[in-house]
Chain A
């Protein structure tokens, strides 16, 4: 765990407390059972925004607390531990796009609404099943945006989309010309293909030439923070299980083969934490973001993949049951792994960034 400021420790403790008491995995089960396309509990998200979590990266002048990405990551990690379903990550990513590329008017209009929870927003980039920001067909003519975005996270609850078109990022409000086709994925959260048919769009004119990549990097580190919480939770649950489960008259934790496997996973988890925290810190410092974000998500993919698989294996048959939580983490893990860059995509990007 990175060395935190007093404010950050308070924020993390508050998030941990809330997630444990108010939003344990049983709450996700309720969301799943309700079967609503939005796939989160609105009152839970209202509680989060009241605690200021949707405004963590938003400047105070626009209704946020301006605590930065490291702080946002701490909260997201805690929510990841209990698989809390919410559009917090999606909205924070969208907020970062407006912060980086928005005009003063756009910031003044949207950021306070995002911070207060009045507006839920999400990022719509890819047009296929893989992260591929270089292959975008969506285009804008006369302020009207046309194109199809695939597998958009939290699309059902969103009333604002940050959409990647050929010539940049645009803000599109839900309404005329915007239609959703639900895509039920294994994590049973909100995903949809979104069609834009001449929807009114407003460009984000600011930011660097690599605005889309800059926003995707922020999406990578925040998703990696969620994955870190998930990995930690699976690891802890599995360790507890090994300590109490008896086989052949022995507690499983006493088998050296299992001890060494857990030591390997513990080492991997330590690496993942370092990489994710460094990614969040890089965004806050403004230095070396692309590389740090790529490393953070690549390590998150690698380690959560291993831990989620071992979590099932080490639980044995019970880990395969729907009654047991560990499978939920596996299913969410793969969705996040495939989002904003798979492991092979990120390795390729790392090599490019390193010039080979």
Chain B
């Protein structure tokens, strides 16, 4: 027998579910069913069709693409429970959330925490409507994992900063409208001399050059700043607070990379199914090559426990209302397993799994080759495996800094 309060909650949940159903019936076009959201990723230029655009606008209007963000800035103003319900109901009918990208995953949550009122009102609503694409101005050619070792410099010119320097690995830089960047405003202190500012990608003096990767193509760019004027109002937080703000944003990035969604998606086809296509099987359906069979089983067992760990992290953080202690493990383990899987796919397919181009190779074969090569970046970007190990050792395990 539910208590009075529980039945109220149940009633309002049912009402909200009905609202979501009505929304989907009114706005989600049948032809987009099951197509997924290619636009929210960093994988290509924005070339949405009119139908996709209409769907994005409908979701953006409601703030349901960013359901838990405050309403006054264009978010949905909903509870986490309602957000999950939306996600669930969308998924049930094959609908996708058309609002995404770095603005949603990394920059928005950071600006909500550290931005001033004017900045939030200016930048958050376009993110919620999926109108603005953001890129990340963090890495520099000589910094790498030593992120704070950055040289891009902003000189105070009264009402604006004058920015000079070079960023690299700017994911999606060629398609971005704006860039959230950490830049040096003081050379005397490695960490306290860093500020967090927002730079228009179409401002005079900004030049973007895509970088060709070992996989053939990539969303990565080099970005050059030559006497770029950045208005003072685009400074987030205080001058010198950039390292603190920047690190907070990286937490959002790690959560996102390890979120499991992308990785779980890769498991669409089991390695064993692929192996049965390419390798000999016996009468009992088992792979004849027992060494390969063992390797696949070994991988799949560990992969399963990774997925269970990702699920546990979500359940724990829901229950505790904070970040699970093991979230720092997910990036390190998930990216390593993804790389192992790519290598196993090659072993399973042999030379047929190493095609670069040509009709002799299937789409999935070619795609997996590019994925194998591009995937090498996963243990480097977003804080390399070595950096994650440092974080786990120092922050989680309390092992002291090495001097």
Query: Which residues of A pack against B, CB within 8 Å?
Result: 1-3, 239, 242-243, 250-251, 253-256, 258-260, 262-264, 266-267, 270-275, 277-278, 294-295, 298-299, 302, 344, 346-348, 350-352, 354-356
Contact = CB atoms under 8 A, between A and B. Distances in A.
A243 B394 CA distance: 11
Contacts of B329: 266-267, 270-271
B222 to A, nearest CB: 31
B270 interface: yes
Nearest to B400: A254
Contacts of A295: 301, 304-305, 308
B25 interface: no
A351 B305 contact: no
B397 A3 contact: no
Contacts of A355: 272, 285
B297 A350 contact: yes
Interface of B: 270, 272, 275-276, 281, 285-287, 293-294, 296-298, 300-302, 304-306, 308-309, 311-312, 315-316, 318-319, 326, 329, 332-333, 386, 388-390, 392-394, 396-403
A351 B297 contact: yes
B302 A299 contact: yes
A264 B389 contact: yes
B401 A254 contact: yes
23 contacts: A3-B316, A242-B399, A243-B400, A253-B399, A259-B399, A260-B386, A260-B393, A263-B397, A266-B329, A266-B392, A266-B396, A271-B302, A271-B308, A271-B309, A271-B329, A275-B304, A298-B301, A348-B297, A351-B286, A351-B294, A355-B272, A356-B285, A356-B287
A260 B402 CA distance: 12
A351 B272 contact: yes
Contacts of B298: 347
Contacts of B332: 263, 267
Contact of B389 (A2, A260, A352): A260
Contacts of B311: 274
A277 B312 CA distance: 9
Contact of B402 (A243, A259, A298): A259
A262 B393 contact: yes
Q: What are the 7 A-B residue pairs with the smallest beta carbon separation, nearest first?
A: A259-B393, A274-B308, A356-B272, A263-B389, A263-B392, A275-B305, A274-B309
B388 A263 contact: yes
Nearest to A264: B389
Given A271-B302, A271-B333, A299-B302, 11 more contacts: A254-B400, A259-B389, A262-B392, A267-B329, A273-B309, A274-B305, A274-B312, A351-B286, A356-B272, A356-B276, A356-B287
Given A254-B399, A254-B402, A2 B392 contact: no
A308 B221 CA distance: 46
Contacts of B396: 266
Contacts of A256: 390, 393, 402
A259 B390 contact: yes
